[in-house]
Amino acid sequence: MNPRIRNIAALVVFGSFAILPLLAQVLGDSFLIVVATRILAFAIAALALDLILGYGGMVSFGHAAYLGLGAYSVAMLSRAGITDLGLHLLGGIAMATPFALITGAISLRTRGVYFIMITLAFAQMAYFFFVSLSAYGGDDGVTLAARSTLLGQPLLENDTTLFYATLALLIAAYLLALRITGSRFGRVLTGTRENPLRMQAIGFSPFPYQLTAYVISGCIASVAGVMLANQTEFVSPALMNWHRSGELIVMVVLGGIGNLIGAVGGAVIALLLEEWLSRMSEHWPLFFGLFLVIVVLASRDGISGLIRRIGGGK
């Protein structure tokens, strides 16, 4: 995407979210803030997935595991008396890093559908591990006593504060991913996606670059899990089930693979459609699927590609 168009799109998306609480206040609908916070958290996860899918060509079908790891870090640390959001974020990253490092090192020995299936298998292993963790409710999950604290104060108990904290983390994740993809590391990562043999021929081994990107992606996704746990004040293994990973892939495809702001937009559109269609009919997945098929057939670059065509871009 043209950098100028990308920057304008980012300003529009993030600016729209920034003024949303004002709109909710005018409409007298506080539920808008709750829905928007959930969307922002999933946008962080979709952004994390697009980093490896769009730029590294790694189709992970187990990225929901990192959502769960981030969420459970909140439950575990809170039970131990550690309530600070910053420490919860570090805890989620600390749990995600070794899991991503080990599973990524094994998964990256495979290619194509085998990579997809092995990431799914590892995620399901994590899922069933937490199902068996009776100390934290097993399959039923566990309710948090309170949300994380911020600067020692229960500021996140206010939905608007939680919303802005999640928005700040999304913007930080976007800027980090933008910096990574625009760096020498990002160019090598993109090269390994296009032609790994050629990258090896010119002296770059794809494996360490792909593994590093995979670990970074998992850590960013764990941040989304921390914020989802705070938004719902509830943690359960359902957050890391395989269908959640599928939803993240749908968000990225819908927004446009290899387009960071597109991944954010894809998450926004997917969750808004889910919210709206679920109120219209109990068969909403059918209509959502039809919408996704139409978008993919109309543009290989998802909705961001359609917008570029309408705007006369290439």
Which pLDDT score is estimated for 195? 87
Which pLDDT score is estimated for 178? 94
C-alpha distances (whole Å) from 64 to each of 60, 214, 286 are: 9, 13, 23
* Distance from C-alpha of 89 to C-alpha of 78, rounded to nearest angstrom: 12
- Can you list the residues of the chain whose pLDDT is less than 50? none
Domain extent listing, the chain: 32-241
Which pLDDT score is estimated for 236? 93
Q: Any residues with CB less than 8 A from the CB of 25 and at least 6 apart, and which?
A: none
* Distance from C-alpha of 213 to C-alpha of 207, rounded to nearest angstrom: 10
Report the candidate in 289, 223, 227, 301 with the shortest Cα–Cα distance to residue 262: 301
Instruction: Provide the 8-state DSSP code for 59.
Output: -
Which pLDDT score is estimated for 301? 77
For residue 84, give the 3-state DSSP assignment: strand
Residue 7, amino acid: N
Q: Any residues with CB less than 8 A from the CB of 158 and at least 6 apart, and which?
A: none
pTM for the model stands at 0.94
Output the CA angle 179-123-188, nearest 5 degrees.
30
For residue 150, give the 3-state DSSP assignment: strand
Which pLDDT score is estimated for 303? 81
Report the candidate in 90, 95, 101, 56 with the shortest Cα–Cα distance to residue 215: 101
Total count of residues recorded for the chain: 314
